Amino acid sequence: MFLMNYYDSSRLRRTLAVAIGLLASNFVGAQKISDCAPLDPAVKSRVVHFVARKLGTDPVLPALEEEKLVPGTCYRQLVFSDQNSKRRWTVYLSPDLRFLSAGLWDVSVDVETTDSRVAAQLLQEAATDKPPALGSGSAQVTLVEFSDFQCPFCARLAKMIELYRKENSDKVRVIFRHFPLPIHSWATPAARAGSCIAKQSEAAFWQFQDLLFAQQKTVTAENLSAMIENFLRGDPKLKRPEFHRCVDVLSSENAVDRDLAQGHNYHVVSTPTVFINGRQYGMFRNDAAFAAAIDAATPPAATKALEPSLHHE
């Protein structure tokens, strides 16, 4: 279990601020609620101010929406929200009320079962929400990415996906979810524009993504609107009045908020965050590492089906 720097997207979740003894409960057994130190007002105030500083919401303090004990332990699950950005964060407080962590890893849980459950949930949500997707629904591997148009590592991931799909287009289905970070000045309006473009043309959405990633260093909060207008004019499939109605009635904001909420439910804290058949990854160090993750997620039956062709004489 680790305390994660929310804004260190360059290191993703690899930066460790503090390690907490996750295995201790295996030796002391399940703890009773009466054994847990109380979260008195002074401690609660200290935690809220600490979270505000680390998440960058201060001087505005996030609201502590929910507090509950993790079953069988004295770890506390705390859910914070920021009304200005409509974001929610889940963190865990250690039993001694000293350490915060972005997640708890329960080593008693079978990870394969968990990955399968997450994969099923992601597919069900995609069937309901119909986010932008590439590839066949019958593909062996489904990749769900939580991405930010202003994130340079997301641009790198997009290139990795494009390169892999050029030779393996039938193997992977890619599903896009918006997760604009509050530290990025134009990521949220770009995400809203992207959601409205996707309503008219899925193909145009992917072209819009590629444009923003390609010109990421020159896009600003001030010139974004003009860039979007030029993009709309250049695609005859896109109707500008319909696009502007979509943005004006906040349907784009609702779609982005939906994706953000889902990301928080899966403990997404940085971009890109990728789920490959339910297994969670951050950024891949190179194309080979990305391909290896896809291969690891490929069902064994599909892998065996390829073997005769590999050994054909």
Residues 84, 115: one domain? no
Residues 94, 143: one domain? no
Pure H helices in the chain: 24-28, 41-55, 111-129, 152-167, 187-200, 202-214, 224-233, 240-248, 251-265, 287-297, 300-310
Residue range 18-69, pLDDT digits in tens: 333 443 444 345 566 678 988 899 999 999 999 999 877 878 899 999 999 9
Residue finishing a domain among 68, 101, 134: 101
pLDDT in tens, the chain (313 residues): 333 333 343 343 333 333 334 434 443 455 666 789 888 999 999 999 999 998 778 788 999 999 999 988 999 999 998 877 667 888 999 999 999 998 888 888 888 999 999 999 999 999 999 999 999 999 999 999 999 999 999 999 999 999 999 999 899 999 999 999 989 999 999 999 999 999 999 999 999 999 999 999 999 999 999 999 999 999 999 999 999 999 988 777 789 999 998 998 898 989 999 999 999 999 999 999 999 999 999 988 654 444 443 333 3
Residues 79, 196: one domain? no
The domain in which residue 90 lies consists of: 24-101
User: Which residues are registered as beta bridge partners of 276?
Assistant: 143, 279
Residues 162, 240: one domain? yes
Residue range 107-144, pLDDT digits in tens: 888 889 999 999 999 999 999 999 999 999 999 999 99
Report the phi/psi class of residue 27: left, alpha or beta, with left for phi > 0 and alpha for psi in -120 to 50.
alpha
Q: Return the structure tokens found at 25.
A: 């409960």
- In angstroms, the CA 200 to CA 247 distance is 13
Q: Is residue 309 part of a domain?
A: no
Residue finishing a domain among 77, 101, 125: 101
